[in-house]
Amino acid sequence: MKNNILKINNLKVYSNKNSRFKLVKNISLSLEKGKTTCIVGESGSGKSLTALSVMQLLSPQLNMSGNIVFEGINLLSLTKEEIRKKRGKDIAMIFQEPMTSLNPVLTIGYQIKEAIDVHEKLNKADLSMRVEELLNIVGIPTDRINSYPDELSGGQRQRVMIAMAISCSPKLLIADEPTTALDVTVQAQILNLLHNLKIKYKMTMLFITHDFGVVNDIADDVAVMYQGEIVEQGNVSNVLKNPKHPYTKALLDCVPDSKGKKDLKPIDYSALKRVMG
Ligand SMILES: Nc1ncnc2c1ncn2[C@@H]1O[C@H](COP(=O)(O)OP(=O)(O)OP(=O)(O)O)[C@@H](O)[C@H]1O
Ligand SMILES: [Mg+2]
């Protein structure tokens, strides 16, 4: 039997204003411990809302139902204080846009210290040592410790976010399109870094992307989202070899192969709508 660290059961997310219109429609997904699961889907399909539901960081205009079980505990039954203790410590998240998640008026060293300090009480010297260690781990020269976010490149900023996310050795790392804003070579470096850290620290990773090329590179399992639903999920090689859902097939047709031979086809939405109803 699979050892699942996280189980999302019948998750629904809807706006307070209109509870009948679901933004996330009854999805269920299990993450196997130590594995990377990718959620792939186009913009607006509900990927971030799913991740934010796990973190219990949905905006106040949104509601959710269902349950999210992490290591046997339903996160929805925890108090705010209990969930705050888990967030960052057991489950950490790297957000889509590093510049909006980092505070522009604080140095990166200070912000990494703060991330550690929420969960671990270290003395000043140990805290500084830990920050330097984290900068080394994510590949930022330690002399940048007093830099402000806008003095760093996009890739470096995302490395700072990664340092903060792994600072308390989370068991589950959620990465929400962490490479979307980066150019292709930096994107590959960040993917590599995340993959290596996941193995080194035996983390489970939930990785969100709209790019099947990325899924191919890093995922063990994949869930394909379309308009708030998971339309297909399973082991990545099975899904890639034998996609069953028309949207998965359409997404796969958009991935260039490495030799650039394949004819790329744009997604035919009217055909998809006919199939999906
Ligand atoms: N606070 C909110 N209030 C109302 N609707 C919202 C809110 N946040 C997101 N939505 C809507 O929910 C849907 C899913 O949003 P979500 O952010 O999960 O998409 P996504 O798959 O992460 O897309 P992207 O790839 O562009 O990040 C979208 O239609 C979005 O407009
Ligand atoms: Mg998103």
Map residue 51 onto helix, strand or coil: helix
pLDDT of residue 269: 73
Instruction: Say whether pLDDT at 261 is over 80.
Output: no
**Second CATH level (architecture) for the domain 4-90+170-235:** 3-Layer(aba) Sandwich (3.40)
Separation between Cα atoms, residue 170 and residue 166, nearest integer Å: 6
**Best CA proximity match to 5, nearest among 29, 39, 33:** 33
Task: Provide the sign of the torsion angle of the four alpha carbons 64, 68, 74, 79, taken in this order.
Answer: negative
What is the best residue among 23, 52, 53, 212 to mutate for testing ligand 1's pocket, by most ligand atoms within 8 Å of CB?
23
The answer, yes or no, to whether any atom of ligand 1 lies below 6 A from the CB of 61, is yes
Q: From ligand 1's centre to the CA of 41, what distance in Å?
A: 12
Mean pLDDT, to the nearest integer, of 118-135?
92
Question: Is the separation of the CB atoms in 38 and 179 below 8 Å?
Answer: no
Q: By percentage, how much of the chain surpasses pLDDT 90?
A: 71
Q: Whose CA is nearest to atom 14 of ligand 1?
A: 46
Does 180 contact ligand 1 (Cβ within 6 A)?
A: no
φ, ψ (nearest 5 deg) of residue 63 = -120, 160
Rounded CA separation 12/49 (Å):
10
Query: What's the predicted TM-score (pTM) here?
Result: 0.92
Distance (Å, rounded) from C-alpha 29 to C-alpha 77? 19
Can you tell me which atom of ligand 1 is nearest the CA of 13? 12
What is the DSSP annotation of 202-262?
T-EEEEEES-HHHHHHH-SEEEEEETTEEEEEEEHHHHHHS--SHHHHHHHTTSPPTTS-S
44 CA from centroid of ligand 2 (Å): 7
- Give the other-Cβ count within 10 Å of 67's Cβ: 15
**C-alpha–C-alpha distance, residues 167 and 131, integer Å:** 8
Asked if residue 99 has pLDDT above 90, the reply is no
**Atom of ligand 1 at shortest range from CA of 225:** 21
- Alpha-carbon separation of residue 169 from 101, 114, 120, 124, 234 (angstroms): 20, 15, 11, 19, 27
Residue owning the nearest CA to atom 9 of ligand 1: 49
Task: Give residue-wise pLDDT tens across range 173-192.
Answer: 999 999 887 888 888 999 99
Which residues does 148 contact at the CB level (< 8 Å), separation at least 6?
Answer: 104, 105, 106, 107, 108
How many helices (H) does the chain have, and how many strands (E)? 11, 10
* pLDDT score recorded for residue 277: 60
Beta carbons within 10 angstroms of residue 270's beta carbon: 6
- What is the mean predicted confidence (pLDDT) over 164-180? 93
Question: From the CB of 18, is ligand 1 less than 6 Å away?
Answer: no
Delimit the domains of the chain by residue range. Answer: 4-90+170-235
Query: How would residue 263 be classed by pLDDT, with cut points 50, 70 and 90?
Result: low
> Which residue CA neighbors atom 1 of ligand 1 most closely?
59
**Does the pLDDT at position 128 exceed 90?**
yes
Residue nearest to atom 18 of ligand 1 (CA): 46
Bridge-based pairing state of the strands 36-41 and 204-209: parallel
Average pLDDT, the chain: 90
Confidence at residue 119, expressed as pLDDT on a 0 to 100 scale: 84
Contact 232, 28 (CB under 8 A): no
